[in-house]
Structure 1
Amino acid sequence: MTELSQLRETLDGQRLWDDVQALATIGALEPKGIRRLALDAQDNRARLWLAEQGRSLGCEVFFDALGNLFLRREGQDASLAPLLIGSHMDSQPLAGAHDGALGVLAGLAVFRTLQEQGIEHRRPLEIVSWTNEEGARFAPGASGSSWFAGQREYDDIIAALDGDGVRFGDALHECLSLLEDNGLVYRPAPFVPYAFLELHIEQGPVLEQLGKPVGVVSGIQGVNWYRIEVEGVANHAGTTPRQARRDAFDGAHELVSALKAATREQDDDLRFTIGKFSLWPDAVNTIAQRATFTIDLRHPTQEVLDVLDSQFHVLAEREWSGCEVTLEVTSRVAPVAFPERLLAVLRESAHSVCAEAPELVSGAFHDAIHLAQVCPTAMLFTPCRAGISHHPDEHIERKDADIAVRALAEAASRLLG
């Protein structure tokens, strides 16, 4: 019988890559890319595919009230809290095949190896695919993991509407009915895992530049999202003198300059992004009455986010070009530093397959940022070409994925024993 300590060596890298290719056909686009929006038909097909993989291995398959899907392999002591490994399978509208999906399939590869090699372990293992991490269809994202971790209320989540007016709760009902019709078991209550591990593509260029196939993630940046409205007065573009104008675009321009000036006082870890900007009434010969824009603000430390939040609110209390400002905080997610005890396990595991595996802070947020509120949590990264993600050109090298998943398997063997 194969020993748990041999899990890393016995993992079948070819089978992992076969699973990557198989899942990439679900929601595939021409000429390339995928589209699996949360709770749509393709996302639900992916759930059923994963469930079938689990059932073919003889394990238990569960789903919960948010459609999170779990595969369970019992340990020698079923009373112990399980080690949880996973990520998500939903995508952006025009996406690559590896964001999130690789983390679920990495867990499946560990699971498959344990089962096929007959490896025994003391603690149960569960693989999870979280619902709506991306938030591309229903915002905000990470619905399944944030609910599981007690960070968001069920009623708030199911009230969200997509761009076509479809309610999250209605799409969720269809998904849960499909899972039930296919014989899966409903397990409504969240539980406290022993630990949570998530392998993810880096979505940045650092590992590729360093030539390293795997990196240890020490934490995740916090993020504040803002929606800002600048209210002026619409009037004729040709007849209204400069001094008589209350142009919302001019006000927004001045305010954005002031907001960016405030951020320049901080270090290079700060990320400030205006992702949406719109004018109303949006006519070529009319002075804008309203300008609306969003801000995505990120930093690894809460103190910096708090300082800038205070400065943003002060700036929003002023008039800009005679226009009034309304600032709304639409989301706050605090930074997370992963626990040293679990990081030590991941460092040793990564170094067992990659000398001098680097440590990084994640600039993107992941399901792990919510799981960190309820159990020891940590992540591994593997490189993606040119740091490109959320795009059909997203690409990982098979050899890098193989090494990164072996690092995950080594960590799992240490935590399951």
Structure 2
Amino acid sequence: MTALATQAPATDPATTDLSTLRINGPRLWASLMELAQIGATPKGGVCRLALTALDGQGRDLVTRWAREAGLAVTVDQIGNIFMRRPGRNPALPPIVTGSHIDTQPTGGKFDGNYGVLAGLEVMRTLNDLGLQTEAPLEVVAWTNEEGSRFVPVMMGSGVFAGAFSLDTAYAATDVEGKTVKDELKAIGYLGTEVPGQHPIGAYFETHIEQGPVLEDHGKTIGIVTGVLGIRWYDCVVTGMEAHAGPTPMALRRDALQVASRLMQEVVACAHRHPQADGVNHGRGTVGMVQVFPNSRNVIPGRVKFSIDLRNATDALCDAMDADIRATAARLAAETGLSIEITPVSAYPAQPFHPDCVQAVAAAAQRLGYSAMPAVSGAGHDAVYMARLAPAGMIFIPCKDGISHNEIEDADPVHIEAGCNVLLQAMLERAG
């Protein structure tokens, strides 16, 4: 507790002008760059897969920094790390912020890592300023958000929120057959606290956008209103393979031509279902295609492809589902080919709490940052936290909208801005 013992005399944030408070941007940037050296790749990215020895080293560094800042560190049974700064009233549930430090195999320096270290920088700044909050504050590093080594994704926050059981997570294996439980033991982060028994008063997550919208609009802060609902399907179009030369065009049962028409409709479907206010958050993607028999001079007899539909509300996702199924039925009737659409998985849309969204918006305005409403098309740990407590997210731009890539990049000015917004949003909830 040395850092807290030597900090400036405590002051009351209720009597402090929040607009004057700023985090230490160079310190936050230096921390991000130091953490990025653990698992650094030749192209400037990071490969630090969940529960590897490198992940253990990253956890050791972050928890060392937390203890140096006077934070109490606890670990739960799925390896989630909670780093607590006390408040005047320990009976109040803590105001929590965080993300994850595991990466994709070709990951970047900022995805997840920024959210954890921004939270740590908030704690360091409050120490520097001698500010004490009414409610405790905490930073959390969630286990295996990426899901690149073990599935399901967002594992630590999912177990914490009761989306799936601890036993299910423990039994998950990687390609070598190693289990989550054994790998938690191996890196020393198999904790004792029961997941979900850790109270949360409100949750904020700061993140790079992982898309191009903020950059395209020239905005510094994305006020995230929610996370898109997701529907995944496998679609199979069945025709008849035949010789490409002797078979006349009018007599073909070409599965690829029919599949191509439906693929175009997946994209068009996303444009047909905007919100009532005219804002379009629809997404339609075909990312995987398998053609049988995949031969140069054979008419394709079977095509299997993926369909990914997303939108801002479950009602809009339902409308897109009905739309694409009706289109498939029409194409099947017109062509005589079989079209089967099979659901693979679904994630409900998750709106964030109005009070947390407003806290982010007010902080951005108070600080003079350009800002706009935003939605997240990707999943985050905040999705599960929003089921348990008021939650919100803060986005900052990333260069060219690129993420899950070694060239992922962010401007230090934006990094600092997002953390300043986080600082003030947390103080508003905790004061």
Please report the TM-score for the alignment, with normalisation by the length of structure 2: 0.84
Q: Percent identity?
A: 36
* 2:406 corresponds to 1:397: no
- What letter is aligned with 1:69? I
Q: Does 1:3 align with 2:11?
A: yes
Q: Provide the rounded CA distance (Å) in 1 between the counterparts of 2:50 and 2:226.
A: 26
Going from structure 1 to structure 2, the CA distance change for 1:37 and 1:324 (only over 3 Å counts) comes to farther
The answer (yes or no) to whether the contact 2:47–2:106 under 8 Å persists in 1 is yes
The aligned counterpart of 1:186 is 192
- Quick one: distance in 2 between partners of 1:415 and 1:208? 29
How far off its partner does 1:241 sit? 6.4
* Cα displacement string for residues 196-250 of structure 1 (whole angstroms, at most 9, x for unaligned residues): 0011112233333444432321222222122223345556656666677655434
Counterpart-to-counterpart distance in 2, 1:73 and 1:389: 31
**Which stretch shows the higher mean deviation, 352-361 or 86-95?**
352-361
Which residue of 48, 71, 88 maps to 1:36?
48
Alignment of 1:307 with 2:313, yes or no, is no
Following superposition, the deviation at residue 334 of structure 1 comes to 1.9
In the other structure, the counterpart of 1:378 is: 392
Q: Which TM-score applies when normalising by structure 1? A: 0.87
Question: In 2, distance between residues paired with 1:64 and 1:324?
Answer: 50
Which residue among 95, 102, 105 is the counterpart of 1:83? 95
8 Å Cα contact 1:135-1:141 kept in structure 2: yes
Per-residue Cα deviation, 1:131-184 (whole angstroms, up to 9, x for no partner): 23233334452222222222334455455555x3646xx03421244224xxx8
Q: RMSD of aligned C-alpha atoms?
A: 2.9
- Residue 407 of structure 2 aligns to a residue whose secondary structure is coil
State the 1:29 CA deviation.
Answer: 0.7
Equivalent in the alignment of 2:28: 16
What is aligned with 2:379? 365
CA drift at 1:290: 3.9
- Asked whether the equivalents of residues 214 and 354 of structure 1 are also in contact (C-alpha less than 8 Å), the reply is no
Gaps of 5+ in 2: 1-8, 275-279
3-state SS in 1 of match to 2:140? strand
Q: Distance in 2 between matches of 1:141 and 1:176?
A: 20
What amino acid does structure 2 have at the position aligned with 1:92?
Q
Match among 166, 175, 180 for residue 184 of structure 2: 175
Cα distance in structure 2, aligned partners of 1:78 and 1:235: 74
| Gaps in structure 1 of 5+ consecutive residues | none
Task: Please give the per-residue CA displacement for 1:86-116, whole angstroms capped at 9, x wherever unaligned.
Answer: 1122222222211111111100101223345
Out of 202, 214, 225, the residue aligned to residue 221 of structure 2 is 214
Is the Cα contact below 8 Å between 2:49 and 2:102 reproduced in 1?
Answer: yes
- Cα separation, 2, equivalents of 1:76 and 1:352: 26
Which residue does 1:228 correspond to in 2? 235
Match of 1:55 in 2: 67
The match for 1:266 is: 273
1:410 Cα deviation after fit: 1.2
Amino acid at match of 1:270: G
Asked if the contact 1:213–1:354 (Cα under 8 Å) also holds between the matched residues in 2, the reply is no
Distance 1:394 1:261 in 2: 29
What is the alpha-carbon distance in structure 1 between the residues aligned to residue 54 and residue 245 of structure 2?
Answer: 51
